[in-house]
Amino acid sequence: MRFISLGLFLASVTTIQGVAVPHTHVLHEKRDAAVLKRWVRREKLDSSAILPMRIGLTQKNLDLGHEFLMDVSHPDSSNYGKHWTSEQVIEAFSPEQKTVDTVTQWLVDFGIDPERITHSDNKGWLAFDATTEEAEGLLHAEYHLYEHTTMGHVAAACDSYHVPKHIQEHVDYITPGIKLLAPEKRGIKKRGFAMTQSKDRHGVGAPLRSNPGKFPVTTPGNLSTCDQSITPDCIRALYQVPLVPEYPGGIPRSDNSMGIYEEGDYYAQEDLDLFFANYTPHIPQGTHPTPAFIDGATAPTDVAHAGGESDLDFELAYPLLYPQTITLYQTDDLFYATNPNSTSTGGFNTFLDALDGSYCTYSAFGETGDDPNLDPVYPDPHGYTGKLQCGVYKPTNVISISYGGQEADVPAYYQKRQCNEFMKLGLQGHSIFYASGDDGVSGPNGDDNDNGCLGPNATIFSPAWPNSCPYVTNVGATKVYPGHTVFEPESAVVDPAGQPYSSAFSSGGGFSNIYHVPDYQRDAVESFFKNHNPPYPHYRGNSSFGKNGGVFNRAGRGYPDVAANGDNIATYNAGNFSSSGGTSASTPIFASIINRINEARLNVNKNPIGFINPALYAHPEILNDITNGTNPGCGTVGFSAAPGWDPVTGLGTPNYPKMLAFFLSLP
Ligand X SMILES: *[C@@H]1O[C@H](CO)[C@@H](O)[C@H](O)[C@H]1NC(C)=O
User: Residues interacting with ligand X, by CB under 6 A?
Assistant: 212-213, 219, 222, 224-225, 339, 341, 407, 412, 455-457, 459, 481, 484, 491, 494, 513-514, 542, 545-546, 549, 575-576, 628-630
User: Pairing between strand 39-44 and 154-157?
Assistant: unpaired
Closest CA to 350 of 381, 374, 385, 366: 374
Residue 543 vs 605, nearer CB to ligand X: 543
* Nearest distance in Å: CB 383, ligand X: 12
Residue 15 vs 341, nearer CB to ligand X: 341
Q: In what order do the strands lie in the sheet with 210-212?
A: 210-212, 576-580, 569-573
- The response to whether 646 counts as a known ligand-binding position is yes
Residue 167 vs 514, nearer CB to ligand X: 514
- Is 309 tagged catalytic? yes
Residue 53 vs 504, nearer CB to ligand X: 504
- Is 584 tagged catalytic? yes
Task: Identify whether the C-beta of residue 424 lies closer than 8 Å to the C-beta of residue 367.
Answer: no
Residue 119 vs 484, nearer CB to ligand X: 484
* Nearest distance in Å: CB 164, ligand X: 31
Q: CA 554, 556, 560, 562 torsion: positive or negative?
A: positive
Angle at 208 between CA 205 and CA 212, to 5 degrees: 105
* Nearest distance in Å: CB 373, ligand X: 17
Provide the 10 A C-beta neighbour count for residue 96.
15
Residue 120 vs 198, nearer CB to ligand X: 198
Q: CA 658, 664, 665, 667 torsion: positive or negative?
A: positive
Tell me how far apart the alpha carbons of residues 139 and 168 are, in angstroms, rounded to a whole number.
12
Those residues whose C-beta lies under 8 Å from the C-beta of residue 498, and which sit 6 or more positions away, are none
* Nearest distance in Å: CB 196, ligand X: 18
* Nearest distance in Å: CB 375, ligand X: 19
Tell me how far apart the alpha carbons of residues 370 and 360 are, in angstroms, rounded to a whole number.
6
Phi, psi of 226 (to 5 degrees): -65, -20
* Nearest distance in Å: CB 335, ligand X: 8
Provide the 10 A C-beta neighbour count for residue 168.
14
Beta-carbon-side half-sphere exposure of residue 176 (alpha carbons within 13 Å): 27
Tell me how far apart the alpha carbons of residues 396 and 431 are, in angstroms, rounded to a whole number.
9
Three-state DSSP at 164 gives strand
* Nearest distance in Å: CB 208, ligand X: 15
CA-based R_g, the chain, Å: 26
Residue 255 vs 488, nearer CB to ligand X: 488
- The response to whether 644 counts as a known ligand-binding position is yes
Task: Identify whether the C-beta of residue 206 lies closer than 8 Å to the C-beta of residue 219.
Answer: no
Name beta bridge partners: 55.
Answer: 126, 174
**One-character DSSP codes across 7-54:** GGGGGGEEEETTEEEETTEEEEEE--GGGGGGEEEEEEPPTT-EEEEE
* Nearest distance in Å: CB 52, ligand X: 28
Residue 105 vs 576, nearer CB to ligand X: 576
Tell me how far apart the alpha carbons of residues 113 and 110 are, in angstroms, rounded to a whole number.
9
Three-state DSSP at 145 gives strand
Query: Measuring CA to CA, how many Å separate 239 from each of 264, 489, 570, 589?
Result: 31, 11, 17, 10
Q: CA 371, 373, 375, 378 torsion: positive or negative?
A: positive
Task: Identify whether the C-beta of residue 572 lies closer than 8 Å to the C-beta of residue 278.
Answer: yes
Q: Which residues of 522-538 are buried (b: 16+ CB within 10 A; e: fewer)?
A: eebbeebeeebebebeb
Tell me how far apart the alpha carbons of residues 369 and 375 are, in angstroms, rounded to a whole number.
10
Residue 252 vs 550, nearer CB to ligand X: 550
* Nearest distance in Å: CB 645, ligand X: 18
Phi, psi of 266 (to 5 degrees): -135, 135
Task: Identify whether the C-beta of residue 291 lies closer than 8 Å to the C-beta of residue 269.
Answer: no
Residue 163 vs 514, nearer CB to ligand X: 514
**One-character DSSP codes across 427-491:** HTT-EEEEE--SBTTS-STTSSSTTS-BTTTT-B---EETTTSTTSEEEEEEE--TT--TTS--E
Catalytic residue among 462, 579, 584, 586: 584
* Nearest distance in Å: CB 322, ligand X: 24
Task: Identify whether the C-beta of residue 75 lies closer than 8 Å to the C-beta of residue 666.
Answer: yes
Catalytic residue among 313, 356, 370, 495: 313
- Is 262 tagged catalytic? no
- Which residues are known binding-site members? 625-626, 644, 646
Q: Which residues are annotated as catalytic?
A: 309, 313, 584
Residue list for the binding site for Ca(2+): 625-626, 644, 646
